Structure 1
Amino acid sequence: MADVRASLEGLLGQIPGSAFVLASVIVVLLSVLVVVSLATKRNGKAPPTLSTIPIIGGVLKFMDGPLKLIKEGYEKHGDVFTVNVFHKRITFLIGPEVSNHFFKAAEAELSQQEVYQYSVPTFGKGVVFDVDYSVRQEQFRMFAESLRSSRLRDYVKMMVMEAETFFGKWGDEGEVDLKEELSKLIIMTASRTLLGREVREQMFEQVSDLFHVLDLGMLPISVIMPRLPIPAHLRRDQARKQLRDVFRSIINNRRATGVRENDALQAFIDARYKNPDRPTTDDEITGLLIAALFAGQHTSSITSTWTGFYLHAGEKKFLPNVVREQQRVLAKHGEKLDYDILQEMDYLHRAIKEVLRLQPPLIMLLRYVHKDFSVTNRKGESHVVPKGHIVATSPSFAHRLPHVYKRVDEFDPDRFGPGREEDKAYGAFSYIGFGGGRHGCMGETFAYMQIKTIWSILLRNFELENVSPFPEPDLESMVVGPKGECRVRYKRRKLTPA
């Protein structure tokens, strides 16, 4: 190390005047990189590094589209490779063969907290990624309680009511932007089931507007500098304060009057921490509600829209299957629609699952490395991922690996059906539409119930036809959905039982 530094310093003596300071900075940075490199070599063979511009690393390629960067890294180095982005090193683990540790490692080894700090200004202090792991686990227990099956049964009733009312206002025929319409409906169902009756009935417009401001305040720059005093962040902070006041008023009123509802808000009001034993505070309840809505609202409306466009695209090859399934359900149960009936819709479930394979809303999942760990790639080569790296995997890329899925770019719900089950052929993490392992999405059942409710009602009451060209994914968004308008033409009909 001393020899390396001496050689670099010797070169500085040949650099005149004003360039000296810049050269000195470069020496320091190179020295740090050499130290990191030597430390990595002492611990084992480091993953191959994707060649990028010195110092700023892969940031320009990230800006051009992370999937392009992942594709380049995968084609050059295989399923394990590292990208330098400024002072950070991101090691990608792509595919089920190398993802086991990513999804199953203990929090002391790989954690979420460091990489999701950008969410703290939105969710608030004292919740989720602003607390240590033990408190976060208690809060996740509260989330799980708000989503247990007894509550989901009531939630589905609310979803059915909201969807029937919403689509009842459509005319006999017409044209709508499906993405815009389903986004409106999802925020209504989420408001009723998660935020509470008071919000849905008395202050829906106010609260939905405030959430929209929060949403606009979560930008790509927010990941790097979440508190940068730009206008979008300042508006976000103000909206967060107003939401706190709204929910504090509702919470206080419920406590004062003894009114109880079977919604997520009530579950958080009733929740208690175990150690030490104490109730949740008003600020914590507000933060948990915001986190719950952010976790589900975008992803469900995006997936609902993609579902419609895939089912009605081209030859509509798979649309008859979901229609016939609805006819069979109608013949068995009549027009009734509840939690148990939705569970019987296997083909619609597979169609939604296939949409999430092709168009997962989250491009990348991240963890921070606290302890060195080894990983063996598909070629049998072992690498050591060092402490301090960020590890990443990509549902978008992993779901289109040709050795895992056949005809990867085709929409084919049958790939998950009996006799094929392509998502299981290469292990537990071949399909990661809802994450997996220790941090699998707790809202998976809620999401399927919500999307299946919406599409059951649409399929039973309307014939649809895509008007807009099939959309491209909007890769510039934090949560990736269809880009541009998603217009469909509809005509009201009454589906008859089979």
Structure 2
Amino acid sequence: MGLLATIAGPLADITANTSTGVLVASVIASFIVLSIVTNVLRQLLFKNPNEPPIVFHWVPFVGSTITYGMDPYKFFFGCREKYGDVFTFILLGKKTTVCLGTKGNDFILNGKLKDVNAEEIYSPLTTPVFGSDVVYDCPNSKLMEQKKFVKFGLTTEALRSYVDLITAEVKDYVSTSPSFSGSKGTFDVLPTMEEITIYTASRSLQGPEVRSRFDVTFARLYHDLDMGFSPINFMLPWAPLPHNRKRDNAHNKMVETYMDIIQQRKDAEEKGEKSESNDMITNLMSCVYKDGTPVPDIEVAHMMIALLMAGQHSSASTSSWIVLRLASRPELVEELLQEQKDVLGEDLPPLTYDNLPSLKLHAQIVKETLRIHAPIHSIMRKVTSPLRVEFLDSKTYVIPASHVLVAAPGVASRMTEHFPEPLTWEPHRWDAGHPLGAISSLKQEEEEEKVDYGYGLVSKGTNSPYLPFGAGRHRCIGEQFAYVQLGVILATLVREFKLRNVNGSREVVGTDYSSLFSRPMAPTVVEWERREKSEKS
């Protein structure tokens, strides 16, 4: 009996524990089922006709997060077919209202400050990366002044000087990188273009001191800081996660770097040594706010980090797509080289700020790539007061202050209403009279309404289905620099290489939407062949 009791006791405990586990699992399963059923019934039975329709979803809180995250454009167009240009979906528990088309872009991107707010959306993500008191960590009026400082620093004289610097960086890279040793081979496009764009931007915008520090160590700091843009940081920017600790460490070290450079320049100035550089550090060090306060050194450092980070993703992604698209159509690479010879001369003289605009096909390559491959697929704003949607033909909605708004300019540029065969990458569609040209007229900058948000007159721009740099008060001020940078990189690579896909394929990789900035799906390997000297002259 003693032995039986010894055995029976543990068995009873196991049975009891098993029963408890089954009960707990049953309760959890029941709760999940009840939540799903309640969620479905709420959507079917309690629709609010005054608010935009809600995209049907099974699981509360999760909502449409997964399908939106996998392919935003597929999600947007699918919802547009069912619900129209204005609809609401659940994004991690948040009601998120999307307004599509040119009218939707205008509604959101030119929204009034009293109605929509960008700071509340982006500050938790950007402030730990950029730093305090800049961009979204300051009042909008101060941000507009900071944008004015940067915009006025991108003078024609500065942009003119950048062309030689960018050209030199690209040539140096392709002559020293192991990926381009020999006369032919393959290279991974995305990491290569990430390096080229960061080197060209750091040398031109950031100055020689920053570029000289861009060794392996500084590149690693940039990578660690870049990880601060992980989507999870929209919700948990403060969490003691490994990538956040690396982000903070990288931020502190980069601030130290910029502060050292600023101090060195001040010391040199005191000695009467005037800087000849046209970079942004020199520009910002001389700027003064409207109240008479000079821009503090720490804010200069933080703005320089913001400049380094903000344009890098867009330029790296766009330049990668340009190379990948050209590799799928190698005949266009030769057409580009011939354009340079026809327009600039058979001896291919140096690229300049003045002769770059004459390369029309080069510009169209950039323009068409940005049309299809906009680096940012969603632009978000927080609704701060109820908004009436009155631009629809037959409906009027009221969007509550609890919602987040999403504009998707890339959707308009993919609509057949504006561009025939919109997913066909065809740079010649921008030729006058081309059958794939825009159906609706794209207004030119000089014809559009101008408005000053505090950093100089800019075009409102939202009537156009082509808005690769956004619109409104938060329109990208680096647009001119981006076109110069991308144009020079493209023209220089065309002079150096023939490009084609491996095995001559015409296929193009898909898009990776896993981060905040869409980019080509890895791997992105293409073949290159260095041009003979006779081809360059």
Partners of 2:153 and 2:402 in 1: CA distance = 35
Q: What residue identity is the alignment partner of 1:150? A: E
Q: Deviations over 1:327-354 (max 9, x none)?
A: 2233188412111111211211111111
Q: What residue identity is the alignment partner of 1:425? A: S
Percent identity (aligned) = 28
Q: Which residue of 2 aligns with 1:135?
A: 142
Partners of 1:336 and 1:477 in 2: CA distance = 38
Q: Return 379-388 or 428-437, whichever deviates more.
A: 379-388
Q: How far does residue 235 in structure 1 lie from its aligned partner after superposition? A: 0.7
Q: How far does residue 426 in structure 1 lie from its aligned partner after superposition? A: 7.2
Partners of 1:423 and 1:353 in 2: CA distance = 16
Change (3 A) 1:456 1:495: farther
Task: State which of 241, 246, 251 in structure 1 corresponds to 2:257.
Answer: 246
Q: Which residue of 1 aligns with 2:5?
A: none
1:422-433 to structure 2, matched below 5 A, reads: 422=438, 424-425=440-441, 428-433=463-468
Q: Which residue of 2 aligns with 1:114?
A: 120
Partners of 2:325 and 2:110 in 1: CA distance = 33
Q: Which runs of 5+ in 2 are unaligned?
A: 1-26, 444-462
Q: Deviations over 1:339-391 (max 9, x none)?
A: 11112112111111111111111111111222333334665322222333211
1:11-90 to structure 2, matched below 5 A, reads: 45-53=50-58, 55-56=60-61, 57-90=63-96
Q: Which residue of 1 aligns with 2:395?
A: 381
Task: State which of 456, 469, 479 in structure 1 corresponds to 2:491.
Answer: 456
The question of 1:467 aligning with 2:502 is answered: yes
Contact 2:170 2:492 in 1 (8 A): yes
What TM-score, normalized to structure 1? 0.86
Partners of 2:492 and 2:113 in 1: CA distance = 42
Contact 2:128 2:228 in 1 (8 A): no
Q: What residue identity is the alignment partner of 1:436? A: A
Partners of 1:474 and 1:54 in 2: CA distance = 25
Q: Which residue of 2 aligns with 1:357?
A: 371
Partners of 1:351 and 1:63 in 2: CA distance = 28
The question of 1:230 aligning with 2:251 is answered: no
Q: How far does residue 295 in structure 1 lie from its aligned partner after superposition? A: 1.6
Q: What residue identity is the alignment partner of 1:369? A: V
The question of 1:104 aligning with 2:139 is answered: no
Task: State which of 185, 188, 195 in structure 2 corresponds to 1:184.
Answer: 195
The question of 1:390 aligning with 2:390 is answered: no
1:214-363 to structure 2, matched below 5 A, reads: 214-258=225-269, 259-260=274-275, 261-275=277-291, 277-314=292-329, 316=330, 318-331=332-345, 334-363=348-377
Contact 1:461 1:495 in 2 (8 A): no
Task: State which of 123, 126, 129 in structure 1 corresponds to 2:133.
Answer: 126
Q: How far does residue 103 in structure 1 lie from its aligned partner after superposition? A: 2.1
Q: Return 111-120 or 127-136, whichever deviates more.
A: 111-120
Partners of 1:227 and 1:456 in 2: CA distance = 43
Q: What residue identity is the alignment partner of 2:51? A: A
SS at match of 2:289: strand
Contact 2:121 2:382 in 1 (8 A): yes
Change (3 A) 1:423 1:101: farther
Partners of 2:376 and 2:488 in 1: CA distance = 23
What TM-score, normalized to structure 2? 0.80
Q: Which residue of 2 aligns with 1:492?
A: 530
Contact 2:386 2:401 in 1 (8 A): yes
Report how many residues are paired: 468
Partners of 1:49 and 1:127 in 2: CA distance = 36
Q: How far does residue 424 in structure 1 lie from its aligned partner after superposition? A: 4.8
Q: What residue identity is the alignment partner of 1:149? A: T
Q: How far does residue 98 in structure 1 lie from its aligned partner after superposition? A: 2.8
Q: How far does residue 230 in structure 1 lie from its aligned partner after superposition? A: 0.6
Q: How far does residue 190 in structure 1 lie from its aligned partner after superposition? A: 1.2
Q: How far does residue 216 in structure 1 lie from its aligned partner after superposition? A: 2.0
Change (3 A) 1:497 1:200: closer
Partners of 2:59 and 2:318 in 1: CA distance = 39
Q: How far does residue 223 in structure 1 lie from its aligned partner after superposition? A: 1.5
Change (3 A) 1:203 1:379: closer
Contact 2:409 2:465 in 1 (8 A): no
Q: How far does residue 119 in structure 1 lie from its aligned partner after superposition? A: 1.0
Contact 1:364 1:394 in 2 (8 A): yes
Q: How far does residue 82 in structure 1 lie from its aligned partner after superposition? A: 0.8
Contact 1:429 1:436 in 2 (8 A): no
Contact 1:404 1:426 in 2 (8 A): no
Partners of 1:251 and 1:133 in 2: CA distance = 26
Contact 1:367 1:392 in 2 (8 A): yes
Q: Deviations over 1:66-107 (max 9, x none)?
A: 334323321210111111335422111111133222122222
Contact 1:91 1:389 in 2 (8 A): yes
Contact 2:69 2:513 in 1 (8 A): no
Change (3 A) 1:426 1:158: closer
Q: How far does residue 416 in structure 1 lie from its aligned partner after superposition? A: 2.4
Q: How far does residue 160 in structure 1 lie from its aligned partner after superposition? A: 1.4
SS at match of 1:101: helix
Q: Which residue of 1 aligns with 2:516?
A: 478
Contact 1:326 1:459 in 2 (8 A): no
Q: Which runs of 5+ in 1 are unaligned?
A: 1-17
Partners of 1:102 and 1:292 in 2: CA distance = 24
Partners of 2:469 and 2:368 in 1: CA distance = 12
Q: Return 64-73 or 89-98, whichever deviates more.
A: 64-73
Q: Which residue of 2 aligns with 1:194?
A: 205
Q: How far does residue 238 in structure 1 lie from its aligned partner after superposition? A: 0.8
Change (3 A) 1:463 1:320: closer
Contact 1:327 1:496 in 2 (8 A): no
Contact 1:164 1:457 in 2 (8 A): yes
Q: How far does residue 442 in structure 1 lie from its aligned partner after superposition? A: 1.1
Q: How far does residue 450 in structure 1 lie from its aligned partner after superposition? A: 0.8
Partners of 2:199 and 2:93 in 1: CA distance = 43
SS at match of 2:114: coil
Contact 2:495 2:536 in 1 (8 A): no
